[in-house]
């Protein structure tokens, strides 16, 4: 590393639960922010119970909780709320995802937090936002995937709308939240004032679904489900090789589409007038898919990948996790890192999201046990050992 991590010196209080808020804090911690994860003393972040565990140790938490120190505080108790205010004095960012009104009910509203620390950036991550008729409803990323139009667009044309088998909307919201925090921190640096980030999980995924709102507004178009096909180009699908593996082909650019069809022996189709644009090619997807599928089905996976590479056409194998961990490109990028963990020993997980040439991020440690750093963190704001013991007896920490 050529210099301090880019977010070194930024202190983040992560009082959120499950995925969008905590993952945003993870992204900040990966690039040097000091993240303090605050959980209830007897009801840890529910993410600690999601997915598989080894010897009672949750495995997803090792990634989601990495680079965070873990503290327990019952924010619903007056003394717990007071501790949060004391922590907020020295913080730069607070991330929460309780239902609107919860912080206010506990006596730690944004107004009070900004009163004790006017430079604080407060990120409020909820399913539906802080206002509007749905704001008080419980909600998760799956509802955002439904409401945004993602599920309606996903799946086979004659099948039901399909939800993703992972937290897609939460992940997109987490990336957006980290971006919003970086923007607000820059404004705080310039103006000396913090502010509230109101992030509704239903919104970022909607933005990434493209121009569907404008197309509906201007042309009345309602995009249908097309399975693995695209309404914007063809051929674009997954195809099975002679040995039963699946590969994905994309032809988003005209030149790639031409290379693919020449490779599979369909030179004539390239000269058809309708082949000149992605949208018109998509109207002939049956014909194009049939030609590509037949060519791929006659060859082994290695032959197909090698031929596409030689032709400079776009293709990728459809991996499960076994293919991912063995792939030479991921290995060259360092996408998967091994972290030494005090509970599990060596643990492999995804690396930080991107590479910076001068101030790269790093995984300093994997997710730590519930409340592991409570006494150490509280001592840094002047809470004595005796006070910590008294608070523990009351169930506050």
DSSP H or E run through 373? none
Tell me the per-residue pLDDT of 58-101, one tens digit each, with 9 for 90 and over.
999 999 999 999 999 999 999 999 999 999 999 999 999 999 99
Q: What CATH architecture does domain 237-318 belong to? A: 2-Layer Sandwich (3.30)
Tell me the per-residue pLDDT of 143-186, one tens digit each, with 9 for 90 and over.
999 999 999 999 999 999 999 999 999 999 999 999 999 999 99
pLDDT band for position 2 (50/70/90)?
low
- The predicted model gives 360-371 an average pLDDT of 97
Q: How many C-alpha atoms does 237 have within 13 Å on its Cβ side?
A: 22
DSSP at 49: G
- The predicted model gives 311-330 an average pLDDT of 97
CA distance 180 to 174: 10
Domain with CATH 3.40.50.10540 in the chain: 11-207+331-393
Are 379 and 385 spatial neighbours (Cβ–Cβ below 8 Å)?
yes
Tell me the per-residue pLDDT of 110-127, one tens digit each, with 9 for 90 and over.
999 999 999 999 999 999
- The predicted model gives 129-149 an average pLDDT of 96
CA distance 229 to 156: 9
- 199: phi then psi, degrees, rounded to nearest 5: -115, 120
Cα 4 from chain centre:
25
Question: In 263-335, at which residue ranges do the beta strands (DSSP E only) sit?
Answer: 315-317
- Is the backbone peptide bond immediately before 352 cis, with ω within 30 degrees of 0? no
* Beta-sheet strand order (sheet of 315-317): 237-240, 246-249, 315-317
Residue 183: the pLDDT is 98
Beta-bridged to residue 94, according to DSSP, are 13, 122
Question: What is the sign of the dihedral through the CA atoms of 56, 61, 63 and 69?
Answer: negative
The CA–CA distances, whole Å, from 68 to 46, 186, 229 equal 16, 23, 41
Are 234 and 288 spatial neighbours (Cβ–Cβ below 8 Å)?
yes
Tell me the per-residue pLDDT of 281-319, one tens digit each, with 9 for 90 and over.
999 999 999 999 999 999 999 999 999 999 999 999 999
CA distance 284 to 272: 11
pLDDT averaged over the chain?
A: 97
- The predicted model gives 44-65 an average pLDDT of 96
- The predicted model gives 257-281 an average pLDDT of 97
pLDDT band for position 1 (50/70/90)?
very low
Going by C-alpha positions, the residue among 380, 375, 378 that lies closest to residue 82 is 378
Tell me the per-residue pLDDT of 24-44, one tens digit each, with 9 for 90 and over.
999 999 999 999 999 999 999
Residue 3: the pLDDT is 78
- The predicted model gives 363-378 an average pLDDT of 98
Percent of the chain surpassing pLDDT 90: 99
CA distance 337 to 390: 41
Q: What residues have CB less than 8 Å from 138, skipping those under 6 apart?
A: 99, 127
- The predicted model gives 43-58 an average pLDDT of 95
| 3-class SS of residue 382 | coil
DSSP H or E run through 92? none
Work out whether strand 34-39 and strand 11-14 pair parallel, antiparallel, or are unpaired: parallel
Domain 11-207+331-393 has CATH 3.40.50.10540: yes
Domain with CATH 3.30.1540.10 in the chain: 237-318
Going by C-alpha positions, the residue among 177, 59, 74 that lies closest to residue 122 is 177
Q: Please list the active-site residues.
A: 170
pLDDT of 142 over the 50 cut: yes
The CA–CA distances, whole Å, from 341 to 56, 57, 62, 198, 370 equal 14, 11, 9, 35, 14
pLDDT of 275 over the 50 cut: yes
Residue 189: the pLDDT is 97
């Amino acid at each position: 590393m050529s210099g301090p991590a880019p977010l070194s010196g930024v202190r983040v209080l992560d009082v959120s639960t499950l995925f969008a808020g905590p993952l945003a804090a993870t992204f900040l911690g990966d690039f040097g922010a000091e993240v303090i994860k605050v959980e209830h003393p007897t009801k840890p972040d529910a993410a600690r119970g999601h997915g598989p565990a080894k010897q009672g140790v949750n495995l997803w938490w090792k990634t989601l909780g990495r680079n965070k120190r873990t503290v327990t505080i019952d924010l619903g108790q007056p003394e717990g709320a007071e501790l949060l205010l004391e922590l907020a004095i020295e913080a730069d960012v607070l991330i929460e995802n309780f239902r609107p009104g919860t912080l206010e009910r506990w006596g730690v509203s944004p107004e009070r937090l900004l009163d004790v620390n006017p430079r604080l950036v407060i990120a409020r991550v909820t399913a539906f936002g802080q206002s509007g008729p749905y704001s008080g409803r419980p909600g998760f990323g799956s509802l955002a995937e439904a409401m945004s139009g993602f599920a309606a667009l996903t799946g086979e044309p004659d099948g039901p709308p399909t939800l993703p088998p992972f937290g897609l909307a939460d992940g997109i919201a987490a990336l957006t939240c980290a971006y919003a925090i970086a923007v607000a921190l820059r404004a705080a640096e310039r103006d000396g004032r913090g502010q509230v980030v109101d992030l509704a999980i239903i919104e970022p995924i909607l933005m990434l679904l493209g121009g569907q709102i404008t197309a509906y507004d201007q042309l009345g178009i309602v995009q249908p489900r097309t399975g693995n096909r695209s309404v914007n180009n063809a051929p674009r699908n997954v195809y099975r090789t002679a040995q039963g593996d699946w590969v994905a082909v994309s032809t988003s650019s005209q030149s790639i589409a031409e290379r693919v069809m020449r490779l599979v022996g369909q030179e004539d189709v390239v000269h058809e007038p309708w082949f000149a644009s992605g949208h018109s090619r998509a109207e002939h997807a049956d014909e194009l898919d049939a030609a590509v599928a037949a060519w791929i089905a006659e060859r082994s996976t290695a032959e197909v990948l090698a031929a596409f590479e030689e032709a400079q056409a776009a293709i990728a194998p459809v991996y499960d996790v076994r293919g991912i961990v063995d792939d030479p490109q991921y290995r060259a990028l360092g996408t998967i890192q091994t972290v030494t963990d005090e509970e599990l020993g060596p643990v492999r997980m995804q690396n930080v999201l991107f590479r910076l040439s001068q101030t790269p991020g790093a995984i300093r440690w994997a997710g730590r046990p519930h409340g592991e750093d409570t006494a150490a963190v509280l001592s840094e704001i002047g809470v004595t050992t005796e006070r910590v013991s008294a608070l523990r007896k009351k169930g506050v920490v």
